[in-house]
Amino acid sequence: MSILKKICGKLLQFLLFEKIPEFATEMYIQLAKGAKTQFYKETAKEIIERVETRRDVWNLLDIGTGPGFMLFEIADLSDDLELVGIDLSEKLINFAKGESEKRGYGDIHFEIGDANHLDFEDNVCDFIISSGVLHSLRNPVAAIKEWLSVLKPGHDLWIYDPTVLITEEEAKDSYRLEKVLKDIEKSLESRKDRLLFRLMCWISSLPPRPMPINNIIEILEKADVVDPDKRRLFMIENRKDYIKITIIKK
C-alpha cells in the first residue's frame, strides 16, 4: 500500500466518525433505494418469521437504521411490532421520519443515536437488528456488548454486514484477495456502483470486503457471546454478498 493510500485511509476514517458523512447522505439514500430493495424485503420476511415463531416479541430496535428502509419493509409485514430505528446521521434520520410520515406508518420511531452508547435501559428490547454497521465500528467488541446489554435474556440479536468470509490463509494470499474483490465488483449491478466500489477499495478497503472468519469469531468471543461452559451462542452464515450473525443473549 502506498503512502498516499494510507493517508487517504486514515483521513477517511477520521471524517466518517462511524457514520455516513453528511455530504454523502443523498447518494447513500439513492444507492440504498436501488441496490438493497431485495435485501430489505428478504430480511424483513426472515425477521417476521422469527417473530411469529417466538410469540414473545413486541418491540424491535434497528441499530444504524439509515434511511429506514428495513423498518418500512418490516412494518408492511406486521402491525403489532413497536419499531425503533437509531442512526448517528441527523440527515438520514430526518429523511426516515419524513418518509415514514408520507407512507403512513404510525408505529415507527426514529431518533439520532450512537450504536456505542444506547439510550435505553438494560434488558428492555425484545429483538435487535443491525445491517451494514459492524464493519464501520472502531470497537466492535464494546459495541456488541452494549447492544446485548439492552436486549432481554434469551432473545435475538441479528447482525448483517456486507462482508465476504475468507480463511486466514486466504487473507494472507494477495492473489486470492484480489480475485475476491474482483468477484464482488462484478456482482454489483450498475456501473456507478462498480466505480464507487473500486474507489473505496483503493482508499481503504471499505466494504463490501473480504474478512477472515477467525476475526469475526474472535470479536464475538471477546464480546462474551458464550455460555458458562464456553459454548458459542452465535452462528455465522456466509450468504451471497453479505454475512448474517445470529446471537442469542445468555
CATH number (domain holding residue 131): 3.40.50.150
Residue 187 to residue 238: CA distance in whole angstroms:
16
Q: Is residue 177 a part of any domain in this protein?
A: no
Q: Is residue 242 a part of any domain in this protein?
A: yes
Query: Which of 79-83, 104-108, 171-175 has the highest mean predicted lDDT (pLDDT)?
Result: 79-83
- Choice between 173 and 61, residue whose per-residue pLDDT is larger: 61
Q: How many domains does the chain have?
A: 1
Q: Is residue 5 a part of any domain in this protein?
A: no
Q: Specify the range with the lowest mean pLDDT, choosing from 55-69, 146-160, 207-221.
A: 207-221
Q: Is residue 122 a part of any domain in this protein?
A: yes
% of residues, the chain, pLDDT over 90: 47
Domain that holds residue 96: 25-167+212-248
| Residue 110, burial from CB neighbour count under 10 angstroms (0-12, 13-18, 19+) | buried
Q: Is residue 43 a part of any domain in this protein?
A: yes
Residue 187 to residue 164: CA distance in whole angstroms:
12
Segment 68-87 shows an average pLDDT of 94
Cβ-based neighbour number of residue 89 at 10 Å: 22
Q: Is residue 65 a part of any domain in this protein?
A: yes
- Choice between 69 and 6, residue whose per-residue pLDDT is larger: 69
Q: Which of 121, 145, 118 is nearest to 64 (CA)?
A: 118
Task: Write down the pLDDT at residue 151.
Answer: 98
Q: Is residue 187 a part of any domain in this protein?
A: no
What's the predicted TM-score (pTM) here? 0.76
Is pLDDT at 186 greater than 90 in this prediction? no
Segment 52-66 shows an average pLDDT of 95
Segment 66-84 shows an average pLDDT of 94
Segment 198-211 shows an average pLDDT of 56
Q: Is residue 44 a part of any domain in this protein?
A: yes
